[in-house]
Protein backbone atom coordinates (compact mmCIF):
# COMPACT_ATOMS: atom_id res chain seq x y z
CA UNK A 1 0.00 0.00 0.00
CA UNK A 2 1.22 3.48 -0.84
CA UNK A 3 2.02 5.23 2.42
CA UNK A 4 0.18 8.32 1.15
CA UNK A 5 -3.06 6.29 1.42
CA UNK A 6 -2.51 5.53 5.10
CA UNK A 7 -4.41 7.48 7.77
CA UNK A 8 -1.71 9.60 9.45
CA UNK A 9 -2.59 8.89 13.12
CA UNK A 10 -1.05 12.23 14.04
CA UNK A 11 -4.01 14.04 15.61
CA UNK A 12 -3.96 14.58 19.38
CA UNK A 13 -5.90 12.48 21.87
CA UNK A 14 -6.08 14.68 24.96
CA UNK A 15 -6.60 13.03 28.33
CA UNK A 16 -8.58 14.65 31.11
CA UNK A 17 -7.12 15.19 34.55
CA UNK A 18 -9.46 12.50 35.83
CA UNK A 19 -8.00 10.03 33.33
CA UNK A 20 -4.44 10.98 34.27
CA UNK A 21 -5.30 10.52 37.94
CA UNK A 22 -6.91 7.14 37.21
CA UNK A 23 -3.79 5.90 35.45
CA UNK A 24 -1.48 7.22 38.18
CA UNK A 25 -3.57 5.48 40.83
CA UNK A 26 -4.22 2.16 39.10
CA UNK A 27 -1.30 1.71 36.70
CA UNK A 28 -3.62 1.08 33.78
CA UNK A 29 -6.43 2.71 31.83
CA UNK A 30 -8.87 1.80 29.06
CA UNK A 31 -9.29 4.47 26.38
CA UNK A 32 -12.07 4.22 23.81
CA UNK A 33 -11.68 5.15 20.17
CA UNK A 34 -7.93 5.74 20.09
CA UNK A 35 -8.27 4.73 16.44
CA UNK A 36 -11.46 5.22 14.45
CA UNK A 37 -13.09 2.18 12.81
CA UNK A 38 -11.89 3.46 9.44
CA UNK A 39 -8.30 3.90 10.63
CA UNK A 40 -8.00 0.54 12.34
CA UNK A 41 -9.49 -1.30 9.36
CA UNK A 42 -6.67 -0.02 7.14
CA UNK A 43 -3.89 -0.80 9.58
CA UNK A 44 -5.31 -4.18 10.56
CA UNK A 45 -4.76 -5.52 7.07
CA UNK A 46 -1.12 -4.40 7.10
CA UNK A 47 -0.36 -5.67 10.61
CA UNK A 48 -1.98 -9.08 10.11
CA UNK A 49 -0.21 -9.56 6.78
CA UNK A 50 3.18 -8.62 8.25
CA UNK A 51 2.68 -10.71 11.39
CA UNK A 52 1.75 -13.82 9.43
CA UNK A 53 4.64 -13.32 7.01
CA UNK A 54 7.16 -13.13 9.86
CA UNK A 55 5.62 -15.59 12.33
CA UNK A 56 7.98 -18.49 13.02
CA UNK A 57 5.70 -20.58 15.27
CA UNK A 58 4.46 -23.61 13.31
CA UNK A 59 3.81 -26.15 16.08
CA UNK A 60 0.23 -27.17 16.90
CA UNK A 61 -1.02 -25.51 20.09
CA UNK A 62 -1.04 -28.79 22.00
CA UNK A 63 2.71 -29.20 21.43
CA UNK A 64 3.65 -25.82 22.92
CA UNK A 65 4.43 -24.79 26.50
CA UNK A 66 2.27 -22.34 28.43
CA UNK A 67 4.01 -19.30 26.94
CA UNK A 68 3.70 -20.67 23.41
CA UNK A 69 0.01 -21.46 23.87
CA UNK A 70 -0.73 -17.92 25.08
CA UNK A 71 -0.17 -16.14 21.76
CA UNK A 72 1.70 -15.87 18.50
CA UNK A 73 4.29 -13.15 19.16
CA UNK A 74 6.03 -11.22 16.39
CA UNK A 75 8.21 -8.23 17.31
CA UNK A 76 9.51 -5.09 15.61
CA UNK A 77 7.18 -5.30 12.64
CA UNK A 78 7.72 -1.57 12.12
CA UNK A 79 11.18 -2.35 10.75
CA UNK A 80 9.93 -4.68 8.00
CA UNK A 81 6.70 -3.08 6.79
CA UNK A 82 6.12 0.55 5.84
CA UNK A 83 2.45 0.59 6.81
CA UNK A 84 3.16 -0.95 10.22
CA UNK A 85 5.89 1.64 10.67
CA UNK A 86 3.29 4.42 10.35
CA UNK A 87 1.19 2.69 13.02
CA UNK A 88 4.00 2.04 15.49
CA UNK A 89 5.53 5.51 15.14
CA UNK A 90 2.14 7.23 15.49
CA UNK A 91 2.37 10.65 17.12
CA UNK A 92 -1.13 10.16 18.55
CA UNK A 93 -0.17 7.01 20.45
CA UNK A 94 3.16 8.45 21.60
CA UNK A 95 1.35 11.59 22.73
CA UNK A 96 -0.93 9.52 24.96
CA UNK A 97 2.08 7.72 26.41
CA UNK A 98 3.77 11.07 27.03
CA UNK A 99 0.76 12.32 28.97
CA UNK A 100 0.48 9.14 31.03
CA UNK A 101 4.20 9.03 31.85
CA UNK A 102 4.27 12.80 32.45
CA UNK A 103 7.45 12.81 30.38
CA UNK A 104 9.17 15.56 28.43
CA UNK A 105 9.79 13.16 25.55
CA UNK A 106 8.98 9.59 24.53
CA UNK A 107 11.04 6.87 22.86
CA UNK A 108 10.01 3.57 21.29
CA UNK A 109 11.19 0.35 22.92
CA UNK A 110 9.58 -2.04 20.47
CA UNK A 111 6.27 -3.15 19.00
CA UNK A 112 4.85 -6.65 18.94
CA UNK A 113 1.83 -8.40 17.50
CA UNK A 114 0.16 -10.71 20.02
CA UNK A 115 -2.34 -12.99 18.29
CA UNK A 116 -4.22 -15.40 20.57
CA UNK A 117 -5.49 -18.20 18.36
CA UNK A 118 -8.81 -20.03 18.77
CA UNK A 119 -8.21 -22.40 21.65
CA UNK A 120 -5.16 -20.40 22.69
CA UNK A 121 -4.27 -20.64 26.35
CA UNK A 122 -4.30 -18.07 29.10
CA UNK A 123 -1.56 -15.48 29.47
CA UNK A 124 -0.20 -15.95 33.01
CA UNK A 125 0.29 -13.15 35.50
CA UNK A 126 3.48 -11.21 34.80
CA UNK A 127 5.22 -7.84 34.83
CA UNK A 128 6.39 -6.63 31.42
CA UNK A 129 9.38 -4.75 32.77
CA UNK A 130 10.89 -7.98 34.09
CA UNK A 131 12.25 -8.23 30.52
CA UNK A 132 13.54 -4.66 30.07
CA UNK A 133 16.95 -3.25 31.14
CA UNK A 134 15.53 0.25 31.50
CA UNK A 135 16.15 2.53 34.47
CA UNK A 136 12.70 4.08 34.67
CA UNK A 137 9.51 3.32 36.57
CA UNK A 138 7.42 5.17 34.00
CA UNK A 139 7.36 2.82 31.02
CA UNK A 140 4.00 2.22 29.36
CA UNK A 141 2.53 -0.32 26.94
CA UNK A 142 -0.27 0.32 24.46
CA UNK A 143 -2.45 -2.79 23.87
CA UNK A 144 -4.87 -2.35 20.96
CA UNK A 145 -7.19 -4.97 19.48
CA UNK A 146 -7.44 -4.93 15.69
CA UNK A 147 -10.82 -6.67 15.85
CA UNK A 148 -13.71 -6.41 18.29
CA UNK A 149 -12.71 -8.42 21.35
CA UNK A 150 -14.99 -9.98 23.94
CA UNK A 151 -13.85 -10.96 27.41
CA UNK A 152 -13.81 -14.65 26.45
CA UNK A 153 -11.35 -13.96 23.63
CA UNK A 154 -8.59 -12.92 26.02
CA UNK A 155 -9.24 -9.38 27.21
CA UNK A 156 -6.80 -8.01 29.78
CA UNK A 157 -7.08 -8.17 33.58
CA UNK A 158 -4.97 -5.86 35.74
CA UNK A 159 -4.05 -5.80 39.43
CA UNK A 160 -4.80 -2.16 40.18
CA UNK A 161 -2.08 -0.37 42.11
CA UNK A 162 0.48 -3.16 41.74
CA UNK A 163 2.77 -0.86 39.73
CA UNK A 164 3.70 0.99 42.92
CA UNK A 165 5.69 -2.02 44.14
CA UNK A 166 8.08 -1.86 41.19
CA UNK A 167 9.96 -5.08 40.53
CA UNK A 168 8.48 -7.81 42.72
CA UNK A 169 11.16 -9.90 44.38
CA UNK A 170 11.40 -13.38 42.81
CA UNK A 171 9.55 -12.05 39.77
CA UNK A 172 9.09 -14.64 37.06
CA UNK A 173 9.01 -14.86 33.30
CA UNK A 174 5.60 -15.64 31.76
CA UNK A 175 5.02 -19.24 32.82
CA UNK A 176 3.01 -21.57 35.03
CA UNK A 177 5.38 -20.51 37.82
CA UNK A 178 4.62 -16.81 37.33
CA UNK A 179 0.89 -17.57 37.37
CA UNK A 180 1.12 -19.40 40.68
CA UNK A 181 3.56 -16.95 42.28
CA UNK A 182 1.75 -13.78 41.29
CA UNK A 183 -1.74 -15.21 41.88
CA UNK A 184 -0.77 -15.80 45.50
CA UNK A 185 0.92 -12.40 45.64
CA UNK A 186 -2.13 -10.56 44.27
CA UNK A 187 -4.40 -12.29 46.75
CA UNK A 188 -2.07 -11.60 49.65
CA UNK A 189 -1.83 -7.91 48.76
CA UNK A 190 -5.57 -7.60 48.18
CA UNK A 191 -5.24 -5.78 44.87
CA UNK A 192 -8.47 -4.94 43.11
CA UNK A 193 -8.72 -6.83 39.82
CA UNK A 194 -9.98 -4.85 36.85
CA UNK A 195 -10.87 -6.48 33.55
CA UNK A 196 -10.97 -4.45 30.38
CA UNK A 197 -13.92 -6.51 29.17
CA UNK A 198 -15.29 -6.09 25.67
CA UNK A 199 -13.24 -3.74 23.51
CA UNK A 200 -13.90 -2.45 20.02
CA UNK A 201 -11.21 -2.51 17.39
CA UNK A 202 -9.25 0.71 17.90
CA UNK A 203 -9.89 0.95 21.64
CA UNK A 204 -6.73 0.57 23.71
CA UNK A 205 -5.50 -0.16 27.17
CA UNK A 206 -2.31 1.45 28.46
CA UNK A 207 -0.48 -0.05 31.41
CA UNK A 208 2.71 0.55 33.35
CA UNK A 209 5.64 -1.80 32.88
CA UNK A 210 5.33 -2.85 36.53
CA UNK A 211 1.55 -3.40 36.55
CA UNK A 212 0.71 -7.05 37.08
CA UNK A 213 -1.63 -8.32 34.39
CA UNK A 214 -2.94 -11.47 32.78
CA UNK A 215 -5.46 -12.58 30.13
CA UNK A 216 -7.71 -15.62 29.87
CA UNK A 217 -7.61 -18.06 26.98
CA UNK A 218 -9.52 -17.59 23.74
CA UNK A 219 -12.54 -19.92 23.71
CA UNK A 220 -13.99 -18.47 20.49
CA UNK A 221 -13.35 -19.44 16.87
CA UNK A 222 -11.84 -16.03 16.04
CA UNK A 223 -8.22 -14.95 16.42
CA UNK A 224 -7.69 -12.27 19.06
CA UNK A 225 -5.58 -9.92 16.97
CA UNK A 226 -3.77 -7.38 19.12
CA UNK A 227 -0.94 -4.95 18.41
CA UNK A 228 1.17 -3.54 21.20
CA UNK A 229 3.70 -0.71 21.37
CA UNK A 230 6.05 -0.09 24.32
CA UNK A 231 7.31 3.38 25.26
CA UNK A 232 9.73 4.86 27.79
CA UNK A 233 10.67 8.43 28.72
CA UNK A 234 13.38 10.13 26.70
CA UNK A 235 16.41 10.46 28.96
CA UNK A 236 16.01 6.97 30.45
CA UNK A 237 19.32 5.20 31.04
CA UNK A 238 20.27 1.58 30.55
CA UNK A 239 20.66 -0.51 33.72
CA UNK A 240 22.85 -3.55 34.32
CA UNK A 241 20.72 -6.52 33.17
CA UNK A 242 19.12 -8.39 36.06
CA UNK A 243 18.39 -11.65 34.21
CA UNK A 244 19.07 -13.44 30.93
CA UNK A 245 15.99 -11.91 29.32
CA UNK A 246 17.22 -8.38 30.01
CA UNK A 247 20.64 -9.34 28.64
CA UNK A 248 18.98 -10.53 25.43
CA UNK A 249 16.83 -7.40 25.24
CA UNK A 250 19.87 -5.19 25.73
CA UNK A 251 21.57 -6.77 22.75
CA UNK A 252 18.45 -6.86 20.57
CA UNK A 253 16.73 -3.53 21.23
CA UNK A 254 19.39 -1.28 22.76
CA UNK A 255 22.54 -1.95 20.73
CA UNK A 256 24.24 -3.53 23.75
CA UNK A 257 24.74 -0.12 25.34
CA UNK A 258 26.62 -0.17 28.66
CA UNK A 259 24.81 0.45 31.94
CA UNK A 260 24.46 4.14 32.67
CA UNK A 261 24.31 5.22 29.03
CA UNK A 262 21.23 6.88 27.59
CA UNK A 263 18.81 4.34 26.14
CA UNK A 264 18.85 5.74 22.63
CA UNK A 265 19.78 2.90 20.29
CA UNK A 266 19.05 2.98 16.59
CA UNK A 267 15.78 1.08 17.17
CA UNK A 268 14.58 3.59 19.76
CA UNK A 269 13.51 6.72 17.89
CA UNK A 270 12.12 9.69 19.78
CA UNK A 271 8.42 9.88 18.92
CA UNK A 272 7.11 12.82 20.95
What pLDDT, in 10s, does the model give residues 61-110? Answer: 777 777 555 568 999 999 999 999 999 999 999 999 999 999 999 999 99
- The pLDDT assigned to 71 comes to 61
- The pLDDT assigned to 5 comes to 84
Q: What is the dihedral of CA 24, 179, 194, 142, to 10 degrees?
A: 60
- The pLDDT assigned to 221 comes to 95
Q: Collect the ranges in the chain with pLDDT lower than 50.
A: none
* 33-38 own/partner pairs: CB under 8 Å, 24+ apart: 33/200, 33/202, 33/203, 34/92, 34/93, 34/96, 34/142, 34/144, 34/202, 34/203, 34/204, 35/9, 35/144, 35/201, 35/202, 35/204, 36/7, 36/202, 37/200, 37/201, 37/202, 38/7
Q: The whole model's pTM is what?
A: 0.94
**Cα Rg, the chain, nearest whole Å:** 17
Q: Which of 54, 41, 56 is nearest to 1 (CA)?
A: 41
Where helices occur in 81-134 by DSSP H, the ranges are 82-88, 91-101
Q: In whole angstroms, give the CA distance from residue 82 to residue 89.
A: 11
Q: Which of 210, 212, 205, 235 is nearest to 96 (CA)?
A: 205
Domains located in the chain, CATH noted: 25-253 (2.60.120.620)
Q: Which of 53, 212, 247, 266 is nearest to 133 (CA)?
A: 247
- The pLDDT assigned to 177 comes to 87
Q: In whole angstroms, give the CA distance from residue 72 to residue 189.
A: 31
- The pLDDT assigned to 72 comes to 82
- The pLDDT assigned to 69 comes to 56
CA distances from 216 to 67, 118, 136, 153, 266 (A): 13, 12, 29, 7, 35
Amino acid sequence: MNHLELPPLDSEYILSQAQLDEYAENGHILLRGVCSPEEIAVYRDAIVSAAMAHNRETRPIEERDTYGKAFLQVMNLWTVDEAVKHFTLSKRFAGIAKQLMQADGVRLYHDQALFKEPGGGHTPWHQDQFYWPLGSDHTVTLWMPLVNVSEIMGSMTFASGSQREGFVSLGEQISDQSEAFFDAHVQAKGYELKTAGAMAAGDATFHSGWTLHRAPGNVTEQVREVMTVIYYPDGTRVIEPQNDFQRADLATWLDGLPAGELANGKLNPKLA
